Amino acid sequence: MPLLCGGTSEPKEADDEVHKICDEMKPHVEEKAGKTFEVFSAKSYKTQVVAGMNYFIKVHVGGEEYVHLRVYRMLPCNGGNLKLTSMQASKAHQDPIEYFE
């Protein structure tokens, strides 16, 4: 099924690319959350094609706790940089990944 500009993809299991994104975002997430995470493991994600790519990522942060991240990747012609644009804390394993600002 092709991605439509503006719509999110179906959820997928985290792959190597998403694990690398999470590794890069971990210090930014810890700063935003005001705490450090011993566990920080991407589990699943959705993507959204925009002028670049939004990643909505479910991350296990220890125990029964998860966070959802919204990470923006610029187009390669604009540097391809990553930016943590938003985060939802206090999520659970069963919480679906949904679009959020």
Burial class of residue 54, CB neighbours in 10 A (0-12, 13-18, 19+) = middle
Domain at 74, CATH number = 3.10.450
Instruction: Enumerate residues 6+ apart whose C-beta is below 8 A from 23.
Output: 40
pLDDT given for residue 5 in this prediction? 56
Name residue 31's amino acid.
Answer: E
16-27 pLDDT, tens digit per residue, is: 999 999 999 999
Rounded to the nearest angstrom, the gap between the alpha carbon of residue 46 and the centroid of all alpha carbons in its chain is 8
Its domain, for residue 18, covers 12-91
Q: Flag whether 96 is in a domain.
A: no
Q: What is the average pLDDT score of the chain?
A: 93
Confidence class of residue 6 from pLDDT cuts 50, 70 and 90?
Answer: low
Q: Which whole-number Å values give the CA distances from 32 to 5, 16, 26, 28, 78, in the listed order? A: 29, 24, 10, 6, 25
Q: Flag whether 7 is in a domain.
A: no
Q: What are phi and psi of 23, to 5 degrees?
A: -60, -40
Q: Flag whether 5 is in a domain.
A: no
Q: Flag whether 73 is in a domain.
A: yes
26-63 pLDDT, tens digit per residue, is: 999 999 999 999 999 999 999 999 989 999 999 999 99
pLDDT given for residue 1 in this prediction? 44
72-81 pLDDT, tens digit per residue, is: 999 999 999 9
Q: Flag whether 97 is in a domain.
A: no
Q: Flag whether 81 is in a domain.
A: yes
Q: Flag whether 82 is in a domain.
A: yes
Domain count, the chain: 1
Using the 8-state DSSP alphabet, how is residue 76 labeled? G
* pTM of the complete model beyond 0.85: yes
pLDDT given for residue 7 in this prediction? 81
Which pair of structure tokens corresponds to residue 58? 């479910």
Q: Flag whether 6 is in a domain.
A: no
